[in-house]
Amino acid sequence: LEELRFKSAPVPGEGSNVVSYGSVSFGWLWGQSGAVLGSGFSCDGSIGKSFSRRIHFILLFSRQGKLRLQKWYTTLPDKEKKKIIREIVQIILSRNQKTSSFVDWKDLKLVYKRYASLYFCCAIEDQDNELLTLEVVHRYVELLDRYFGNVCELDIIFNFEKAYFILDEFIIGGEVQETSKRSAVKAIEDSDMLQETVEEYMNKPAF
Q: Are strands 24-30 and 36-42 parallel, antiparallel or unpaired?
A: antiparallel
Q: What does the pLDDT look like over 150-181, one tens digit per residue?
A: 899 999 999 999 999 999 989 999 999 887 88
pLDDT for residue 159: 93
Average pLDDT estimate for 19-30: 51
Backbone angles phi, psi at 112, to 5 degrees: -140, 160
The answer to whether residue 70 scores a pLDDT higher than 50 is yes
The answer to whether residue 28 scores a pLDDT higher than 50 is yes
CA 112, distance to chain mean position in Å, is: 12
What is the rounded distance in angstroms from the CA atom of residue 103 to the CA atom of residue 71?
Answer: 19
Q: What does the pLDDT look like over 86-127, one tens digit per residue?
A: 999 999 999 998 889 999 999 999 999 999 899 999 999 988
**Which residues of the chain form CATH 3.30.450.60?**
55-190
Per DSSP, helices labelled H in 31-149 are 47-51, 78-93, 130-148
- Comparing 71 with 190, the larger pLDDT belongs to 71
pLDDT for residue 154: 94
* DSSP summary character for residue 14: S
As a whole number of Å, the end-to-end CA separation of the chain is: 68
Q: What does the pLDDT look like over 197-207, one tens digit per residue?
A: 877 777 776 55
pLDDT for residue 53: 55
Q: Determine contact, residues 56/73, Cβ cutoff 8 Å.
A: yes
pTM for this predicted structure: 0.70
What average pLDDT is seen over the chain?
Answer: 79
How far CA 79 is from CA of 29, 83, 108, 117, 183, in Å, comes to: 37, 6, 19, 27, 36
Which residues 6+ apart lie within 8 Å of 63 measured at CB?
93, 114, 117, 119
pLDDT for residue 178: 80
What is the rounded distance in angstroms from the CA atom of residue 94 to the CA atom of residue 75?
Answer: 27
The answer to whether residue 52 scores a pLDDT higher than 50 is no
Indicate the fold that domain 55-190 takes in CATH. Answer: Beta-Lactamase (3.30.450)
pLDDT for residue 15: 53
Helix (H, G, I), strand (E, B), or coil: what is residue 94? Answer: coil
